[in-house]
Structure formats: C-alpha cells, structure tokens
C-alpha cells in the first residue's frame, strides 16, 4: 500500500488563501444594487472597466460597510481623488450628451 493518498493519507502542507481577491459571497444580497449598477455600466460601455470606476468604487465601499471584505483605504485599491473627479466629470458629460441628443 502507498503511504499517502486521496482518502486521508498525508497530503502535505495546507494551502494558504490569497491575501486579496477572495472574500465572502454576498449570500444575503446586501450589495446587489451596486453590483447590478456596475454590471449594467460594463455592458453599456462595451466592457471598458475604466468608464465604470465610480460604480466599482461604490460596490467595494458597500462590501466594506457590510463586512463582506476587510476595510481598506480606497487608495490601496487603486482609487484616488483625481479619478473620482474625472469619473464624475465623465458622468456629467454623458448625461449632457444624452439631453442634447433628445
């Protein structure tokens, strides 16, 4: 018989989960609205995520508020004050474009 195996034999060291990228699922759907807004933005922008950064930020903030991920400074997640200002400016120009085309 072999010394190790699939049924309880020596398997070696336990795997270590990654530091980021894995967090609890939202089983109670606490951040569904933010998730749907982000996905809708992705679909309407041709899956260009940089155009949906504001929605991405809101989704991550919701997850942090509901303890679905560890609280972190948004700058550690790639968000800065400049991108917030730029994203809100882009959103305003898009809404102005929509009004002028109607």
51 φ/ψ sector (left φ>0, alpha ψ -120 to 50, else beta)? alpha
Question: 81: closest CA among 72, 73, 71?
Answer: 73
| pLDDT exceeds 60 at position 90 | no
Name the token pair of 81: 């004050």
pLDDT at position 13: 78
pLDDT at position 35: 95
Name the token pair of 54: 């504001």
pTM of model > 0.75: no
Q: What is the pLDDT of residues 41-70, one digit of tens each?
A: 999 999 999 999 999 999 999 999 999 988
| pLDDT exceeds 80 at position 83 | no
């Amino acid at each position: 018989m072999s010394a190790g195996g699939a049924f309880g034999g020596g398997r070696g060291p336990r795997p270590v989960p990654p530091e980021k990228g894995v967090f609890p699922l939202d089983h109670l759907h606490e951040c569904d609205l933010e998730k749907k807004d982000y996905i809708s933005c992705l679909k309407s922008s041709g899956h260009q995520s940089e155009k949906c950064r504001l929605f991405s930020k809101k989704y991550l903030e919701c997850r942090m508020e509901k303890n679905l991920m560890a609280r972190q400074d948004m700058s550690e997640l790639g968000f800065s004050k400049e991108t917030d200002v730029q994203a809100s400016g882009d959103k305003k120009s898009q809404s102005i474009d929509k009004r002028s085309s109607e």
